[in-house]
Chains A and B, each alone.
Chain A
Amino acid sequence: MGPLTILSEFPEWINLLIAFCIGIGFGFALEQAGFSSSRKLAGMFYGYDTTVLKVFFTAAIVALAGSQLLSFFGLLNLKLVFVNPYYMNATIIGGIIMGAGFIMGGYCPGTGISALSIGKIDALIFLFGGMVGAFLFAETYPYIQTIAMENYKGPMRIEEWMGISPEIFTLILIIAAVALFWLAEHAEKKFSRTEITTDL
């Protein structure tokens, strides 16, 4: 029965070892997907390469449906799995700032780490900028604390918000993802830039 480290009261070092192993899998999957290339990632926003959408939605659905199946068979207690707290204003404003950073830098933090691991210098500089960003946040925190805390809704889940069951929502999400995949395949043909994609 999972989550294992919470229910089995393992010593902390085992949980940290698990973290390290999960990280190896995470870094491996991102690099294999091609997320170590900023020009491939940026393709998502100009239509010539939609790998980001395909990988991202497939992964979300596998983890979502997988965890619900494990829970259905009594193997995972979903009430003990961390649910992100929802601070409405901070989430929206933070998301918009992240989007701007994504298109300027060509990476997000995870893909930047992936790119650094195969030697991309631009990713090293991106992550250095990221450290400066985290430092600036900490130093400006007293001034933006109000925004960071406004409209706190707790660890709210979709079913409370929309009033539908998790199973139905998962089904809707799968259908939406398939429609998006179909659109993405078409976009790649329509906005194709072979001079970039053959180079990646």
Chain B
Amino acid sequence: MNKTNYMNPYFAGVLLGLVLLAAMFLSGRGLGASGGIKYTVVALVGAIDKQHAMESAYYSKYFENGESPLKNWLALEVFGMILGGFISGALSHRLKFKIEKSPKISNNKRLLFAFLGGVFFVYGAQLARGCTSGAALSGMAVLSVAGFVTMIAIFGSAYIFAWFFKSLWI
């Protein structure tokens, strides 16, 4: 079974574009990913320390309507993403537990940088009010200036930092 048969990138792009168009047509909004992560954290903090959540300038707005922060468009969309990715992986025989990394680095090094990358990415996404999906891709589709600036900032910065982190990948 050939596991590397990814879809042609232009065709996959059309498919992704149609999904985004469907979100715009059906719900009047774009796609998102970091938002789903944020709502998970908001829900966790609310469950662990409700008082802290209600007093915080940041969390309190998510508890105003008295409903769970996970009963939310983005959170539901992210649950769907996991199912969609799983179906795709099952159809293309790519379901497998593994740590993906360059053979030149150790598992621990890969996982350490994966963790740090996650901390940086989502911190930046909260500041910029969206990530590659919610700000850059969805923003560009509605011609938002924020979308184009986010796209240029993410990719421009990644190209510069790529020089420093070369040994992680090649």
Total interface residues on A, using CB and 8 Å? 129
B47 within 8 A of A: no
Q: Which of B114, B126, B160 has the most CB of A within 10 A?
A: B114
Select B13's contact among A62, A82, A84, A200, beta carbons within 8 Å: A62
A-chain residues with CB within 8 Å of residue B144 when the two chains form the complex: 83-84, 86, 155-158
Contact B132 A122 (CB under 8 A): no
A25 to B125, CA, bound (A): 23
B-chain residues with CB within 8 Å of residue A82 when the two chains form the complex: 28-30, 142
Question: Given contacts A64-B143, A98-B124, A110-B131, are A37 and B119 in contact (CB under 8 A)?
Answer: no
Residue of chain A at shortest CB distance from B3 = A200
A-chain residues with CB within 8 Å of residue B169 when the two chains form the complex: 39, 42, 45-46, 106
Question: Given contacts A107-B117, A113-B85, are A161 and B40 in contact (CB under 8 A)?
Answer: no
Select B85's contact among A36, A101, A121, A127, beta carbons within 8 Å: A36
Q: Return the CB mask of A7-43 against B: 1 if under 8 Å, else 0.
A: 0000000011111111111111111111011110010
CB distance from B141 to the nearest CB of A (A): 4
A97 to B36, CA, bound (A): 19
A29 to B66, CA, bound (A): 34
Contact B58 A153 (CB under 8 A): no
A175 within 8 A of B: no
Residue of chain B at shortest CB distance from A137 = B126
A135 to B49, CA, bound (A): 13
Question: Given contacts A32-B6, A58-B14, A156-B146, are A27 and B82 in contact (CB under 8 A)?
Answer: yes
Number of A-B contacts (CB under 8 A): 530
B64 within 8 A of A: no
Question: Given contacts A134-B38, A138-B41, are A18 and B26 in contact (CB under 8 A)?
Answer: yes
Contact A105 B116 (CB under 8 A): yes
B-chain residues with CB within 8 Å of residue A129 when the two chains form the complex: 114-119, 121-122
Residues B53-111 near A (CB distance < 8 A): 56-59, 71-74, 76-89, 92, 94-102, 110-111
A130 to B41, CA, bound (A): 10
Contact B99 A153 (CB under 8 A): no
Question: Given contacts A23-B80, A91-B146, A200-B4, are A80 and B158 in contact (CB under 8 A)?
Answer: no
A23 to B29, CA, bound (A): 13
A138 to B120, CA, bound (A): 14
CB distance from B155 to the nearest CB of A (A): 7
A199 to B114, CA, bound (A): 20
A-chain residues with CB within 8 Å of residue B99 when the two chains form the complex: 120-122
Contact B162 A5 (CB under 8 A): no
CB distance from B91 to the nearest CB of A (A): 9
Q: Could you tell me which A residues sit within 8 Å of B by CB distance?
A: 2-6, 15-34, 36-39, 42, 44-46, 48, 51, 54-64, 66-67, 70, 75-76, 78, 80-88, 90-123, 125-139, 141-142, 144-145, 147-148, 153, 155-159, 161, 166, 169, 181, 193, 196, 200
21 of the cross-chain contacts (CB-CB < 8 Å) are A20-B79, A23-B83, A24-B87, A26-B31, A26-B77, A29-B16, A32-B6, A42-B162, A54-B13, A55-B9, A55-B16, A81-B28, A93-B124, A95-B151, A102-B117, A109-B132, A110-B133, A120-B99, A126-B115, A129-B115, A137-B126
